[in-house]
């Protein structure tokens, strides 16, 4: 049966096939993941959990769950193998935001204090932005970045000692450097705070060993599954075993109803893929590509926040060019290059305009790009920017 929707899907497929995708949070999933998320599992309700999984939970609230029980158990077991961990895992969060909401609900009360990074400095909305539930439900203290844009760990320690937060959060959406999980964890222990890591952006690099792992250091770890992990859109929460019941209750019934079993199937396939040597090599290549592209911009005298990158993304500060992030994003779109405008530290413009753009290499690395392709793309972006009217 014809439907306008299929025409639109085909149009989007062609757009994805014909553009250069540099949005740092996007990626391209495998055909197997597409099959799983488009499967009959979407028909099944399964509120609750497989009864064997977290001690003390009450099982499912619907009949007919024997297959999805097996699926969800399989998915959880695989993700523990991927991260070599005995932490409890909940694979039901619909997104990174849902995972963060549930993580907070599991260990905090409304009004409790969170020490985190601000949106302008590279964090996510759910890390305490005043326009987000996180900023409305909790008292938020933001730690600073230094003049180059790196997290100022002495400032984290000083604020933690002074403010005595209930939870300290490390993680970001637009931060190009290694996060010092050891130091964060020491500071959290010293002041008696929970230590939470949102590894949404870097999770795939944790798998490949290109970023230190937060397991063993953080109490709670959240992630999305669709960025460097290259799975379907969704979220997950890991927690120390003693937090299992709190985490599960915070997800359901705390803030979600029925889990999306078709997405859990996609998450399980993503875990199977993450367990392969090819995935580890993919992570290495993402970082090599990012360093090469970032180096090309530095060679062309662009201002890169923090002066470089350790991971899959970097941030160009366009202030000196007189152009806004939005203008550059729109112009690159017209040339078939997709990325996003981004605030920079000490941003003077609104987030709608922004003074920077964020560039990521995870998606085009999936398409087989190597260092030379990214260097070529950097030169093309420079030519486009130079021709833009000021």
Q: List active site positions.
A: 45, 47, 198, 224, 227, 233
Question: Is position 231 an interface residue for ligand DSN (rule: CB under 6 A)?
Answer: no
In sequence order, the 6+-apart residues with CB closer than 8 A to the CB of 87 are 80, 215, 221, 238, 239, 240, 241
Taking the complex as a whole, how short is the minimal distance between the CB of residue 124 and ligand DSN, in angstroms? 5
DSSP state of 138: S
Instruction: Look up residue 290 and give its two tokens.
Output: 């990012």
Q: Contact 335/252 with Cβ under 8 angstroms?
A: no
Closest chain position to ligand DSN (CB) = 25
Number of C-beta neighbours around residue 258 at 10 A: 15
Question: Is position 96 an interface residue for ligand DSN (rule: CB under 6 A)?
Answer: yes
Residue 49 or residue 175: which is nearer to ligand DSN going by CB?
A: 175
Taking the complex as a whole, how short is the minimal distance between the CB of residue 173 and ligand DSN, in angstroms? 4
Residue 173 or residue 329: which is nearer to ligand DSN going by CB?
A: 173
- Owner of token pair 């705070």: 193
Number of residues that bind ligand DSN (CB under 6 A): 4
**What track of x and - describes contact with ligand DSN for positions 116 through 145 (by CB under 6 A)?**
--------x---------------------
Taking the complex as a whole, how short is the minimal distance between the CB of residue 15 and ligand DSN, in angstroms? 18
Residue 173 or residue 285: which is nearer to ligand DSN going by CB?
A: 173
- Where does 121-253 have alpha helices with state H? 133-137, 153-163, 181-191, 203-208, 244-249
Restricted to residues 301-320, the positions that interact with ligand DSN (CB under 6 A) are: none
Q: Contact 23/228 with Cβ under 8 angstroms?
A: no
Omega of the bond prior to 253 within 30 degrees of 0, cis?
yes
Taking the complex as a whole, how short is the minimal distance between the CB of residue 296 and ligand DSN, in angstroms? 23
Question: Is position 173 an interface residue for ligand DSN (rule: CB under 6 A)?
Answer: yes
SS3 of 228, please?
coil
Cα 152 off chain centre by:
21
Taking the complex as a whole, how short is the minimal distance between the CB of residue 340 and ligand DSN, in angstroms? 7
DSSP string, 340-366: EEE--TT--S-TTT-SEEEEE-HHHHH
| Helix pair 371-386, 325-334: axis angle to 10 deg | 110
Residue 96 or residue 266: which is nearer to ligand DSN going by CB?
A: 96
Question: Is position 25 an interface residue for ligand DSN (rule: CB under 6 A)?
Answer: yes
Residue 160 or residue 197: which is nearer to ligand DSN going by CB?
A: 197
Contact residues for ligand DSN, defined by CB under 6 A: 25, 96, 124, 173
């Amino acid at each position: 049966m014809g439907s306008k929707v299929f025409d639109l899907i085909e149009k989007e497929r062609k757009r994805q096939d014909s553009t250069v995708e540099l949005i740092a949070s996007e990626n391209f999933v495998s055909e197997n993941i597409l099959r799983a998320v488009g499967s009959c599992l979407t028909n099944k309700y399964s509120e609750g959990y497989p009864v064997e999984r977290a001690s003390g939970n009450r099982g499912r609230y619907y009949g007919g769950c024997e297959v999805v029980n097996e699926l969800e158990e399989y998915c959880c077991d695989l993700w523990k193998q991927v991260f070599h961990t005995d932490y409890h895992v909940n694979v039901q969060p619909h997104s990174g935001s849902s995972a963060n909401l549930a993580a907070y609900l599991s260990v905090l009360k409304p009004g409790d204090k969170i020490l985190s990074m601000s949106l302008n400095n590279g964090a996510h909305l759910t890390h305490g932005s005043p326009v987000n539930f996180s900023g409305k439900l909790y008292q938020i203290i933001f730690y600073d970045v230094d003049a180059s844009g790196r997290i100022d760990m002495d400032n984290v320690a000083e604020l933690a000692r002074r403010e005595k937060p209930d939870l300290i959060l490390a993680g970001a959406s637009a931060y190009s450097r290694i996060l010092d999980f050891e130091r964060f964890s020491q500071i959290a222990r010293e002041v008696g705070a929970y230590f939470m890591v949102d590894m949404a952006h870097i999770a795939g690099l944790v798998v490949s060993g290109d970023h230190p792992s937060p397991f063993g250091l953080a109490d709670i770890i959240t992630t999305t599954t669709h960025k460097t992990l290259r799975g379907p859109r969704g979220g997950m929460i890991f927690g120390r075993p003693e937090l299992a019941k709190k985490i599960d209750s915070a997800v359901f019934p705390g803030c979600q109803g029925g889990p999306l079993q078709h997405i859990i199937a996609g998450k399980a396939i993503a875990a199977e893929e993450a367990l392969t040597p090819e995935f580890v090599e993919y992570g290495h290549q993402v970082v090599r590509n990012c360093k090469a592209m970032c180096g090309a911009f530095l060679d062309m005298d662009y201002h890169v926040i923090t002066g470089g990158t350790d991971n899959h993304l970097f941030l160009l500060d366009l202030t000196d060019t007189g152009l806004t992030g939005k203008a550059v994003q729109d112009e690159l779109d017209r040339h078939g290059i997709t990325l996003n405008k981004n605030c920079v530290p000490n941003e003077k413009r609104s987030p709608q305009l922004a003074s920077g753009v964020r560039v990521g290499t995870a998606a085009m690395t999936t398409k087989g790009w190597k260092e030379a392709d990214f260097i070529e793309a950097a030169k093309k972006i420079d030519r486009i920017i130079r021709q833009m009217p000021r």
